[in-house]
Structure 1
């Protein structure tokens, strides 16, 4: 094993699509950090779960678990709205507040069991409109490529808006390194490369001398963080959500242009949890090769 850094930041996002909360420690299980993506917005007309790809107004909200340490799939959350109000998921007026914010009739819903499969289905008017809608969220300019994954989506991604039984789109864990953020800042020094734009669960402070998009080289390898093990299984293609305004961030289209043109569309990597454990700020991070 090779040491690559330490845990600098831990983030969870109790409501899909909303800004989240910074933690000192959290249990990391098969379905990611405890309390991560346990609520989501459902479009009433479409009967479909929504994300910040389609409802970017959600990024202007900040969600926190009401029970910060021990959380479950039905625990209540508190939401800081753009107008400064704080409303709980158990407030009967929260649905109307989010409807007004997004401009679409919506309800806030907690996770449901896998047996309620239809709850996670993708709304389809026909065989192609949903895919065109999805492609549009990547906000590519003329001549810029779309992620290759859109040309070969797994069948589950065609039928469901998230992994059934979860509110995760691809995997339950996402990480970034300080080396990558520093590299992007050098490429576009006028932009604000605040980590909150990219919604990672983990920010790894890499060792001195590590430069560039280092975590992309970790794909198909494992990371050991304390007693937890994470398999880095793919890079993270970026969509227009990274350019949107948040409560403390201005809109900036140059962010996405730089990622597409200078980082092959990707920033950060997705991970699958192979060994559960509590992770903490300051934990050492080790890289294992694929044979370990």
Structure 2
């Protein structure tokens, strides 16, 4: 049985229809056994080389997280560059807008044919890495980072979680880092915390509302072995909503 006392509640839910581009905040998400529904279906590539976007490593990709994404009711991707309207993607018009924004030829491509629109006949691209089903982050860890780096913006968007759990700060601790191996119940969803989430250079990049900040990663390296948040595997899939409680099992 789950512990009687709730340890926190869901304050934010996110999915990321296209890797490295801005995420889409949700009131509810469907969590399957392998991934969140609608999560990381597309990639952005250099149209000349086929290289997939790497904002964590190359400056030419640093503006990519400013490109917004959403899935339509028909589960088709739409993107918007700053100052522009929503455009269907993949498509020539959206590729032109993204290329103009980045300053070089770039293209949105699906990872799998099944995720593209029925009439899509363009190329696919390979996923950059094998993702763990769920990335969970607590406000307690964000509060700890803010204590260590008060001048910085400890915004969840830097870290691209699927689930943000609102819980009281734990003095001197990034609490979920200590949960590896434990099981969590969130509503009807059952998860096992599998490993800490090792952070990369993506966390320091500017996004809408906050500037580039190397101090974010520097403090995580110094005080939490590069880590913030945890990855989880799914023991029991379920739909979860903002406000659902989290308990240890």
TM-score (norm 2): 0.85
Q: Find the partner of 1:237 among 194, 198, 203.
A: 198
Is the deviation greater in 235-244 or in 102-111?
102-111
Structure 1: how far apart are the matches of 2:128 and 2:159?
Answer: 20
Find the counterpart in structure 2 of residue 172 from structure 1. 133
Structure 2: how far apart are the matches of 1:76 and 1:173?
Answer: 22
The 1:209/1:82 distance shift into structure 2, 3 A limit, reads closer
8 Å contact from structure 1 (residues 76, 90) kept in 2: no
Is the deviation greater in 224-233 or in 39-48?
39-48
Find the counterpart in structure 2 of residue 8 from structure 1. 11
Find the counterpart in structure 2 of residue 188 from structure 1. 149
Matched, 1:225 2:183: no
The 1:174/1:60 distance shift into structure 2, 3 A limit, reads same
**Structure 2 counterpart SS, 1:271:** strand
Q: Find the partner of 1:34 among 24, 29, 37.
A: 37
Q: Find the partner of 1:59 among 65, 68, 72.
A: 65
Find the counterpart in structure 1 of residue 119 from structure 2. none
Find the counterpart in structure 2 of residue 111 from structure 1. 111
Structure 1 residue 90: Cα displacement: 5.0
Is the deviation greater in 52-61 or in 41-50?
41-50
**Structure 1 counterpart SS, 2:7:** strand
Q: Which runs of 5+ in 2 are unaligned?
A: 115-122
Structure 1 residue 196: Cα displacement: 1.1
Structure 1 residue 171: Cα displacement: 1.0
Structure 1: how far apart are the matches of 2:17 and 2:169?
Answer: 35
Structure 1 residue 32: Cα displacement: 2.1
8 Å contact from structure 1 (residues 228, 276) kept in 2: yes
Q: Which runs of 5+ in 1 are unaligned?
A: 122-159, 164-169
- Cα RMSD (Å) of the superposition? 2.2
TM-score (norm 1): 0.73
Give the total of aligned pairs.
234
Q: Find the partner of 2:129 among 138, 147, 162.
A: 162
Structure 1: how far apart are the matches of 2:82 and 2:134?
Answer: 27
The 1:197/1:39 distance shift into structure 2, 3 A limit, reads same
Find the counterpart in structure 2 of residue 154 from structure 1. none
Find the counterpart in structure 2 of residue 269 from structure 1. 230
